[in-house]
Structure 1
Amino acid sequence: MIEAPRVLGVIRLSVATDASTAPERQRDAIQHWANAPHVSGTVIGWAEDLDVSGGLDPFKRPKLGPWLTERESEFDVIAVLKIDRLTRRSKNFAELVEWCEKRGKTIVSVTEGIDMSTPMGKMFAQIIAAFAEGELNTIRARIQASAQTRLEMGVWTGGVLPFGYQFTDSAAGKGKKLAQDPEYAALLREIVDRVKTDWSAYRIAVDLNRRKVPTWRDYLRIKSGKPSRGIQWASATIVAIVTNPTAAGFFTYKGEQVEDDEGNPVMISSNPIMTPDEWNQMVVRFTTDERKAVRSTPSRSMLGGVATCGVCGANMSSAKKSKNTAKGTEYFYYACNNLQTGTCRFPARSTRERLDRYVNDAVGCALGQAPMLEKSSVDSGPIRTELEAVKKRLDRLETDYMAGRYDEEGQQESYWKMHKSLSAKISRLRAEVEVLDSAPKHVNTGRTYAEVWAEKDDEQKRAFLKKHNIRVVVFRDLVEWAKESVVVEFLDLKEFIQGNNLQLDDLDYYRADFNTPLEDDGSTLSLERLAEMAKSRIAIKQEALAL
């Protein structure tokens, strides 16, 4: 042991503990040891981690970690009440011992009388660490078994109360079950219905704040007699609520849906607020651009982020204004996002009024009577990915079994239970893929594009365009008689017509052109051909100006 060592006192307290390991007792014991005449040490600091599991790597603990990674030169000895206060993982303990040996430091357990500066101390410390890991595994197994039993009984296993649900006593009187909270289940239904009618998450949040509707956490505080904290709704909150599997009644653990032994999803409620299909719709909606960049400010235009430059393909920005000081008027423009950077030699540009009118005309006139189609929310892609992952897990399990890794007593039963569960899940996922692949990809709503379009404001129209894969492409100086040319493509409708070999009234319903040249036979030109023509015309004009 180093004479008069600099001592780092390490304290840890897990969520489940008793008075025998209280922080004060750990601190007093370490201080008493450091003050002993045979030590004469000085406690230079404390690494106190409360509510931290013994299974967490010491280098990753909030308080201890920085001492090990950033302040190692400030201490000589790590002192703990007991070895399990340092870690309950023998692997982590061995790594920390090696770290100390390389740096000339030592570990001391003050109540177990272990000083790792001696060979005997090292041996006893390793033995104790191994027992601590076994105890941790036993605790976790007991907790998991208890949670599984509660799940099988349909009883809530604990955690934050899911949005829109409330506790109710189980029929057997053992624990709590989840039932719909009348007020906030209705609010969730309202939010879902608004998303279906192309309200953005931002707009929903603004409306709830305007109506002074408490957020879920504030609502729970008010119900329990506590004052509201006045937390505001945000776009991200709305997205998180409607895409959370618990809204559809699915039980999750660490972000993953939980299945039973037959591979079926475990439900947290017999009467979920959202149907699985509705939840799928929400996930599909908010895994697009709106989820990647949730709006923090209101939209000022119908086509910002929807219309694209026909030459470079970049999005056109939201409306920009340019003042005519002589006339005292303002003009609003859409412009290619590459206009300012100069990376597009032929950037598209159009007044907001004109471009909005073209798109309104395309929907209202050219496609007014075409059937409005909803893209099916079902998609076998994610399920296929999950199916392949489960197959690989089963293959690894069988490989381990053949290698004799389940030969010990009690492991056979564990192996066959896991094998049954994975096999059942593979069968279920295969059946789901077959059903989804055979289902229609588009559903006729029974309404026309014009009817639905007329009910929407600019923000809803923008969401509608994205949702139904309606493409707006703008070209500059494509023809002599107009400053901009526009093509509006209804790609969902095109896919539906071509996929079902349909022709509606002998008209080309999936494209509308404004100020675009035609082929000699009167047919429309492809977007690629129009882009080449735009480049050629602008290049000629630029050469003429240069001369």
Structure 2
Amino acid sequence: MPRARRRKGVPASAPGMRAALYVRLSRETEETTSPERQRAACEALCEARGWTVVMVEDDIDVSGFSRGLERPGLQRILSRLPELDVVVFFKIDRLARSTVDFAEIMRITEAQGVALASATEPLDLTSSMGRAMAKVIAVFAELESDTIGMRVSSAHEHLRREGRYTGGRVPYGYRVVPNPDGAGKVLEVDPEEAETVRGIVERVLAKDSLMTVAADLSKAGVPSPGHTSRQTTGKRSDSKKWYTTTLRSLLTNPQLLGQVIEDGKPILRTDGLPLVNRTPILDTDTWQALQAELERRSNPGDRRREGTSLLRGIVHCALCGFRMYTYVAGGRLRYRCIGRLKKRQGGERIDCYGVSIAGESMENHVEARFLESFGRLPVVRVVEQAGEDFRPQIRQAQEALSDLEKDRYDRGLFKGDDGADRYAAQYAKLEDRIASLKEKQRTAKPGGVVEVPTGRTFGQHWKAADTAGKRDLLLHAGAFVEVSPATKSGPAFDAARLAVRFGTDVRIGRADAEGKDVEAVIRQAEAAELAGGANS
């Protein structure tokens, strides 16, 4: 039955009221007020005032600041307000950590005629003055919460700068060990996981698809980072399932360079460069080559799809020059030109009638030509050495300068009496560094390229690759296939209709025909020739 509303002017201390006790604790430690102590204080208040406790709810290991009102125990109390007269809590900061949340709770309870009572604070929340005082206390509770958060964050950053492990997920390739130089723990390279990372990187740079690499790792039962790979103790999950998303997240993590990450961003030194205080798993040249390869694969124009045809984007019609696409006729795969259809849609006419050819036979023929030309050749990856290229450092310093401005004006950091001085000093250091780096870049010596053998041949890569990986190898070799019209009828495959070419000139021609960056293709070819000349 719904209760009778408490009459206006009746104080919250009136006997016979039905009370709900609320207990909250973010993390139970020896320094905090235990749930038992909070509940005992609330029960003592109810007994002293003659209130009847009808429900007790708690939120343990729940932050009042980050969760707001979305706390299970608090929500259960708010859902039963028609059955209550008063909500009792240990202190205001147990009920809410922000002024906004406290004001919202007061609004909700007042609308239901329910009072709020603190077991340790002498407040009468049924009067205007009492509610005003409660809001003042809530302001200080929020300030205390912010101060604690800033102090903890500052302490964690200091420990990370010192090379200490402060908990949380451990980057794949590292493990937690006791600090050999003092208290606490540090991260060191895990030999087995680091070897796994280097093996993955080698395969990716050798043009193996992420899907193939992930499938091979899962099949071999290699432990993976998993979705939640590390707990606060540094232990890894038992997952041995790899996904392409897992690989991409792993391979783009700058912690492989030994960098220290805070809130998803590298911690920077005063000169604007990332802080490195642990042994890197990858060197800078390998990292840059890896990121370039991943970026190339993520380019919408070069993105591969599962189930793509082997010669998609490679085979063209000799009559009109348009690409040929796959279709199925009589249960068999075929390639055909749709240039005539495209032109007709644009209101133009074209002499091409739609050349077509048997797909499987053509793919087998192109595969044989590729393996004949490249199968025994070793696969090498061209690594561009930065030399005296200071542009990455300039970019990092400029990003650090932008982040510094956001830290002050958007995030409200650099508070306090000396905040402006600290901000100005760090800003000046970054500006000086940018100016110095730009001067060095102006007189920098150009870098070079070297070829690094992978230890595998094109034929070995072809055998291990899926369709998308094989297509990537063909594109890398500059494959270009033209199909001429059939000169005789019949189902027999006529290899004479095909013109199969490989090489840099073909890549340049394709890039020009498709409106891509021809200069980029030429620069890549020149880099490869320079590397070949240096090693000859």
Which TM-score applies when normalising by structure 2?
0.64
Per the alignment, residue 533 of structure 2 pairs with none
Q: CA deviation at 1:141?
A: 3.5
Per the alignment, residue 13 of structure 1 pairs with 25
| Pair 1:335–1:166, CA change in 2 (3 A) | farther
The answer to whether 1:459 aligns with 2:469 is no
Q: CA deviation at 1:182?
A: 2.5
Per the alignment, residue 9 of structure 2 pairs with none
2:34 counterpart letter in structure 1? A
Per the alignment, residue 349 of structure 2 pairs with none
Q: CA deviation at 1:250?
A: 0.9
| Pair 1:188–1:498, CA change in 2 (3 A) | closer
Whether contact under 8 Å (1:391, 1:426) holds in the other structure is no
The answer to whether 1:149 aligns with 2:158 is yes
Query: Counterparts in 2 of 1:287-306, with a 5 A limit?
Result: 287=295, 303=310
2:280 counterpart letter in structure 1? P
Whether contact under 8 Å (2:272, 2:400) holds in the other structure is no
Equivalent residue in structure 2 for 1:490, among 491, 501, 507: 507
| Pair 1:17–1:308, CA change in 2 (3 A) | farther
Per the alignment, residue 205 of structure 1 pairs with 214
Per the alignment, residue 259 of structure 1 pairs with 268
| Pair 1:40–1:240, CA change in 2 (3 A) | same
Per the alignment, residue 66 of structure 2 pairs with 56
Equivalent residue in structure 1 for 2:417, among 409, 421, 446: 409
Q: CA deviation at 1:253?
A: 1.0
Matched pairs, number: 472
Query: Counterparts in 2 of 1:84-233, with a 5 A limit?
Result: 84-97=93-106, 107-215=116-224, 229=238, 231-233=240-242
Return 458-467 or 122-131, whichever deviates more.
458-467
SS at match of 1:12: strand
Return 173-182 or 350-359, whichever deviates more.
350-359
Which TM-score applies when normalising by structure 1?
0.63
| Pair 1:335–1:22, CA change in 2 (3 A) | farther
Query: Counterparts in 2 of 1:297-316, with a 5 A limit?
Result: 303=310
Report Cα offsets for 1:186-241 as digits up to 9, x if no partner.
222222222222333333333333333334589x99xx9x9984643333333333
Whether contact under 8 Å (1:57, 1:92) holds in the other structure is no
Report Cα offsets for 1:108-157 as digits up to 9, x if no partner.
33332435332232233223222223322332333234334323433333
How much is the aligned-residue C-alpha RMSD, in angstroms? 5.8
The answer to whether 1:354 aligns with 2:362 is yes
SS at match of 1:15: coil
Give unmatched runs, 5+ long, in structure 1: 325-330, 338-343, 506-547
Whether contact under 8 Å (1:116, 1:125) holds in the other structure is yes
SS at match of 1:247: helix
Equivalent residue in structure 2 for 1:274, among 282, 298, 306: 282
Q: CA deviation at 1:163?
A: 1.9
Identity %: 23
Equivalent residue in structure 1 for 2:34, among 18, 22, 37: 22
Q: CA deviation at 1:82?
A: 1.5
Whether contact under 8 Å (1:170, 1:177) holds in the other structure is yes
Whether contact under 8 Å (2:173, 2:193) holds in the other structure is yes
Give unmatched runs, 5+ long, in structure 2: 7-15, 339-344, 347-353, 488-493, 512-516, 530-536
Whether contact under 8 Å (2:18, 2:52) holds in the other structure is no
Q: CA deviation at 1:291?
A: 11
Per the alignment, residue 245 of structure 1 pairs with 254
Instruction: Tell me how far apart the structure 1 counterparts of residues 198 and 244 of structure 2 sit (CA, whole Å).
Output: 17
Instruction: Tell me how far apart the structure 2 counterparts of residues 348 and 95 of structure 1 sit (CA, whole Å).
Output: 71
2:141 counterpart letter in structure 1? A
Q: CA deviation at 1:14?
A: 1.6
SS at match of 2:462: coil
Report Cα offsets for 1:462-518 as digits up to 9, x if no partner.
33755867888999x98465999999862589545645997999xxxxxxxxxxxxx
Instruction: Tell me how far apart the structure 2 counterparts of residues 504 and 127 of structure 1 sit (CA, whole Å).
Output: 70
Whether contact under 8 Å (1:106, 1:117) holds in the other structure is yes
| Pair 1:241–1:455, CA change in 2 (3 A) | closer
